[in-house]
Amino acid sequence: MTSVWLATRPPQREFPELDEDVRADVAVIGGGIVGLTSAVLLQEAGLRVVLLEANRLGHGVSGHTTAKVTSQHGLIYARLRARFGADGARTYAAANQAGLEWIADRVAADGIECDFRRRPAYAYVTSAARRHKADREAQAAEQAGLPAWLAETTPLPFDVEAAVRFDNQAEFHAGRYLAALADSLAGARIFERSHAVEVSSNGDRTVKTPGGRVTAGHVIVATHYPFLDRSLAFARLTPQRSYAILCRVAGALPEGMFISGDSPTRSVRAVPLDGEERLLVGGEGHKTGTGGDTRVRYQRLEDFARRHWDVRSVDFRWSAQDNVTLDGVPYVGPVTPWDDRVLMATGFGKWGLTGGTAAALILADRVLGHENPWADLFDPSRLSQLASPRLVKENAEVGLRFVGDRLTKPGRRSLDDLRAGEGDIVRHEGERLAAFRDEDGTVTAVSPVCTHRGCQVAFNHAERSWDCPCHGSRFAVDGSVLQGPAVHRLEHRPLEERGGSRSSRRNSA
Ligand code: FES
């Protein structure tokens, strides 16, 4: 499903596929907010930049957010202060405020028409039992140097117990902003549909794609989920999906951006579109590849919107996937401690527009050999997360899935049981298949074994994709890669070759 940002952005320039070997000072892998911002910074510092995007620029996670540009990331500052001390919370705040202001300056300097506007951000709680969380958060955020204070009310059309308000935050149209960043990369070489599958180190660093290689002094892996296994990111990130809808409503909308500190999480903001303000509601986060029928998630968001506003229509529905780190701070810096020329940025916990811009500032400084005051906090090799109990728990869960899915889930249904529009792991001639039957009755079958590390994929009904619960790889129904860390497609299972009685593209109900 297409986000409002992609559906209403200006026509996008197309870039060629990489089909030769090229050289650069820096190879940037990934054309989202981190990759584009890094490329702009490095190009403007005089370096030769090559940018590789597996799909189209800005079409990944960055094009599917709520497009809030804020340092308020839920109720995070009290947690950061407890884990990293007051200095750590202050550093996180400073990096994100710098990201926000970099975007504001860029919009002003380049005259980018992306509906950028300043708004207060509120993180609210509705239950008296959670009021102490808002109190603590307001205090921690203020101590971190943010323009934060505790508010007793908000402009929302329902009562809250308390809210932490950050002044002078912002929101924009993510698609138009990303398109403008891409346009300002006139001096860089950009390649789309050029999927990096390997980075090797042999003097310079070399990025391999199916069509050619890029040899560069530095490589920035800004692929959302780093596909390099040596980053061990797959052991330290939890992929999460979340959902958003955009509604036309009667009446005025509250001025501000809002997120609940209660469960379930609800994210609210207004979006100017075609001369009127629309209501954006987000939330319903869950771990990728789990959580049941994903179509229900959209319905719950719509129910929330209808409970509080006079909704006339729901015009857009979209979902996103982002990674959460073990300690809540993104991983930004060298992929490994022993190679500072291959860098990564990941784990923005659904706050990637501001956090991703801050990450690009850190990565550009690293490439240019400049000191950066935030780099240590975000260093992927920091010690705080290595001893995390979550590391043990997450990896134990992945291990159980790897073994358990294979041994205990042979596929409960047969291929013939699949209804139109349905996908599932099925049994067929003694083999497990990931099979999808479309509305015409045509069945497409692929292997259910994720090509990253062998876990079993699960069907995502809302997106019609195969999602892996272990590290979040996603595949289209035909098995092609939608999202890494997997770089290889799910194997096709041509049913017509099995006893001559079946076709994987058959036309029967
Ligand atoms: Fe790692 Fe599937 S994403 S096993």
- For residue 401 and ligand 1, the question of a CB distance below 6 A is answered with no
Average pLDDT, the chain: 88
Q: Which residues contact 447 (CB under 8 A, 6 or more apart)?
A: 433, 434, 479, 490, 491, 492, 493
Strand pairing report for 465-467 and 474-476: antiparallel
pLDDT digits 0-9 by tens, 424-448: 888 887 788 899 998 888 889 999 9
Structure token pair of residue 8: 């209403």
Q: Which residues 6+ apart lie within 8 Å of 225 measured at CB?
A: 233, 234, 237, 239, 323, 346, 471, 472, 473, 483, 484, 485
**Dihedral sign (CA 31, 244, 261, 289):** negative
Sheet strands (E) in 288-383: 310-325, 331-336, 339-346
The closest of 90, 111, 366, 89 to 222, measured between CA atoms, is 366
In the reported structure, the alpha carbon of residue 17 is separated from the centroid of ligand 1 by a whole-number distance in angstroms of 26
Predicted TM-score (pTM) of this structure: 0.86
Please say whether the beta carbons of 301 and 243 come within 8 A. Answer: yes
- Among 403, 467, 471, 482, say which to mutate for ligand 1: greatest number of ligand atoms within 8 Å of CB: 471
Specify the range with the lowest mean pLDDT, choosing from 53-62, 83-92, 173-182.
53-62
Mapping DSSP to helix (H, G, I), strand (E, B) and coil, where does residue 37 land?
helix
Asked if residue 320 has its Cβ within 6 Å of ligand 1, the reply is no
C-alpha–C-alpha distance, residues 37 and 43, integer Å: 10
Q: What does the alpha-carbon distance between residue 382 and residue 364 come to, in Å, rounded to a whole number?
A: 19
Nearest atom of ligand 1 to the alpha carbon of 472? 3
Q: Would the CB of 452 count as within 6 Å of ligand 1?
A: yes
Q: How far apart are CA 308 and CA 196, in angstroms?
A: 45
pLDDT of residue 128: 92
Three-state secondary structure along 432-483?
EEEEEECCCCCEEEECCECCCCCCECEEECCCCEEECCCCCCEEECCCCEEE
What gap in Å lies between CA 275 and CA 21, rounded to an integer?
47
Ligand 1 binding pocket includes 473 (Cβ within 6 Å): yes
Enumerate residues 6+ apart whose C-beta is below 8 A from 145.
Answer: 90, 93, 94, 97
In the reported structure, the alpha carbon of residue 336 is separated from the centroid of ligand 1 by a whole-number distance in angstroms of: 20
Asked whether residue 55 carries a pLDDT value surpassing 60, the answer given is yes
* pLDDT confidence of residue 12: 82
Q: What's the first-to-final CA gap in the chain, in angstroms?
A: 25
- 468 Cβ below 6 A of ligand 1: yes
406 CB under 6 A from ligand 1? no
pLDDT, tens digit (0-9, with 9 covering 90-100), for 205-237: 999 999 999 999 999 999 877 766 665 666 788
pLDDT in tens, 383-395: 655 555 555 555 5
Find, among 1, 67, 4, the residue nearest to 351 by Cα: 67
pLDDT at residue 391, as a whole number:
54
6 three-state secondary structure: helix
pLDDT, residue 509, reads: 30
Averaged pLDDT, 37-66: 93
Tell me the pLDDT tens digit for each residue of 245-294. Answer: 999 999 999 999 999 998 889 999 999 999 999 999 999 888 887 777 77
User: Which H, E and C letters describe 288-308, residue by residue?
Assistant: CCCCCCCHHHHHHHHHHHHHH
Residues 124-147 have a mean pLDDT of: 96
Query: From the CB of residue 167, how many other CB atoms can be counted at a distance below 10 Å?
Result: 12
Pairing of strands 148-151, 198-202: unpaired
Q: Above 60 in pLDDT, residue 453?
A: yes
Q: 284-298, 366-380, 490-504: which has the highest mean pLDDT?
A: 366-380
Ligand 1 mutation pick, 452, 466, 482, 489, max ligand atoms within 8 A of CB: 452
Q: Once rounded to an integer, what is the mean pLDDT over residues 82-98?
A: 97
Helical axes 174-183 vs 77-110, angle rounded to 10°: 60
